[in-house]
Chains A and B, each alone.
Chain A
């Protein structure tokens, strides 16, 4: 079956620190992989995606590489800002575009 395992939170970092949020997946077939972000009181919005092995998705300084050999799609950012505080969701889609989400990781960045 399809599933996503995501690093448990919460994560608290100081501004300008390096961020990694781990995500691994199990899927039948060849899934597309996504990171969505949810800011307080809002719906989810796409942060980045990768649709095939070795693709790197990037946006707003965040990046993640689709690693088929390790079934991973870890999210990284070199220098976080207070405005990055949010809940981050790793997700996969295979077949009919049915998103399977990880449990979400709450990130708090302190000045």
Chain B
């Protein structure tokens, strides 16, 4: 009965390829997020959507494009993959965008770019 799920769990691909990571939450939350965790475990917000609308877009290359077809899904598409994109990507959700809310994280997608 997974709350926040991501697919795939592992993704290995060549430089220059385009790939997508999917995220779904069954918690009925309004707000969803993408985070990037680098090799030193540092976590940084990339995007946040509230009710399918983009509310946070940190300094991320425009090769990264989030898409939210509905409130329960926030997918991440990456064009022209580079070596530096190798990381673990976490999806998360929260009831709404209030700052006191807990965020629920998915299990992560480990992306390796060769």
User: Footprint of B on A, CB under 8 Å?
Assistant: 31-32, 34, 36, 38, 42-46, 49, 51, 87, 89, 93-101, 103-104, 106
Q: Which A residues lie within 8 Å of B100 (CB)?
A: 32, 49, 51, 93
**Count the A-B residue pairs with Cβ separation under 8 angstroms: how many?**
66
Contact check, B108 vs A43: say whether CB atoms are below 8 A apart: yes
Chain A residue nearest to B45 (CB atoms) is A98
* Chain B interface, number of residues (Cβ within 8 angstroms): 30
Whether B99 lies near A96 (C-beta < 8 A) is yes
Query: In the complex, which residues of chain A have a beta carbon less than 8 angstroms from the beta carbon of B48?
Result: 96-98
A101 pairs with B42, CB closer than 8 A: yes
Which residues of B are interface residues toward A (Cβ below 8 A)? 4, 31, 33, 35, 40-45, 48, 50, 55-56, 90, 92, 94, 96-108
- Across the interface, A46 reaches (CB within 8 A) one of B35, B41, B50, B102, namely B102
The reply to whether B103 and A43 contact each other, CB–CB distance below 8 Å, is no
Q: How far is the CB of B96 from chain A (nearest CB, A)?
A: 8
Smallest CB-CB separation from A9: which chain B residue? B41
